[in-house]
Amino acid sequence: MQSCIKDIWTFDYSSCNGMPRTFPFFADGYPGILFHQTDGGLYLNDKQKLSTIFLYGQTVRPIELVAKGNASLTVLVLYPHVIKYLFGINASELTDDCIDLITLSGSTERLFLERLNELTTREEKISLLQDYLEYLLQYRKTKPDHSLEYAVTEILRSGGAVELRLLQKQVFITERTMERRFERHVGVSPKLFARICRFRSSLQLMKSNTSKRLGNIAFEAGYADQPHFVRNFKEFTGLSPIEFLHRFASKPGLTY
């Protein structure tokens, strides 16, 4: 199971006077499974009502999930390469998208998922979701691609700074073959995946030290210069780094 699940997140929100709660999501390189119980539903960008449990792919464009009324969310964050391996569908089909997991599942798998609403504790729900993934592992639909898994791990480990041509040589595949495998198993190209990982590295640096200059953050995250960093940041958030911190950070913004 450790080979599939990176993290487990839980959110509980008690609505005040029926006020909705907005959860912003940005590119992080990881797909996942989200199960929610909300009084008035969970909406994508306050427009599209989402199913109770869904599988989502790579998030490239910034999105907002809006919970209306009291809400309880459980998220299983999956490793980037496991969608094709576990569910038998091309990960590119879910990039910036999601699919109802019950609709996607077979009859036996649906029995796991339909029990979720009967459970009362967070621990029971997480345990059932883990059992569901364990079942999928036993009857997985696609063989693992160890070369791709190695490439993904190296890009994550380096924060997107690894030299892709060198990586191709290490796994003995051509640039085009690597692109096809990434599109099929990860959902985005190797270059885009590396940019996402570099963005996440810069975001972690910003969160850990909001007084650090942007030029220093750009250098530590592996960007060629500060303008390159700012362009990449706006690509994934729609905001400049300063605007982002003013909106989301609990501490004062950065200085130049």
| CATH class of the domain defined by 146-248 | mainly alpha
Buried b (16+ CB within 10 A) or exposed e, 200-223: bbbbebbeeeeeeebeebbeebbb
- Cα radius of gyration (the chain): 19
- Beta sheet of 5-13, edge-to-edge order: 5-13, 71-78, 32-38, 53-56, 98-100
- Which residues touch 106 (CB under 8 Å, ≥6 apart)? none
Q: Locate all alpha helices (DSSP H) within the chain, ordered by sequence.
A: 82-87, 101-104, 107-114, 122-138, 146-157, 164-171, 175-185, 190-208, 214-220, 226-237, 241-248
| pLDDT (0 to 100) of residue 210 | 67
| Domain 5-138, architecture per CATH | Sandwich (2.60)
| pLDDT (0 to 100) of residue 213 | 87
| pLDDT (0 to 100) of residue 194 | 97
From first to last of its 256 residues, the chain has per-residue pLDDT tens of: 668 999 999 999 888 777 899 999 999 999 999 999 999 999 999 899 999 999 999 999 999 999 999 999 999 999 999 999 899 999 999 999 999 999 888 887 888 888 898 898 999 999 999 999 999 888 876 788 899 999 999 999 999 999 999 999 999 999 999 999 999 999 999 999 999 999 999 999 988 876 678 899 999 998 989 999 999 999 999 999 989 988 876 544 333 3
Residues 138-165: pLDDT tens digits? 887 678 889 999 999 999 999 999 999 9
User: Which residues are registered as beta bridge partners of 22?
Assistant: 66
| pLDDT (0 to 100) of residue 141 | 66
pTM (2 decimals)?
0.90
Report d(CA 3, CA 136) in Å as an integer. Answer: 13
Report d(CA 174, CA 251) in Å as an integer. Answer: 45
User: Quick one: which H or E segment has residue 34?
Assistant: strand 32-38
| pLDDT (0 to 100) of residue 251 | 42
| pLDDT (0 to 100) of residue 29 | 96
| pLDDT (0 to 100) of residue 76 | 97
| pLDDT (0 to 100) of residue 229 | 94
Domain boundaries, the chain: 5-138, 146-248
Residue 33 backbone dihedrals phi, psi, to 5 degrees:
-120, 130
| pLDDT (0 to 100) of residue 254 | 36
Q: Which tokens go with 77?
A: 């964050």
Residues 42-67: pLDDT tens digits? 999 989 999 999 999 999 999 999 99
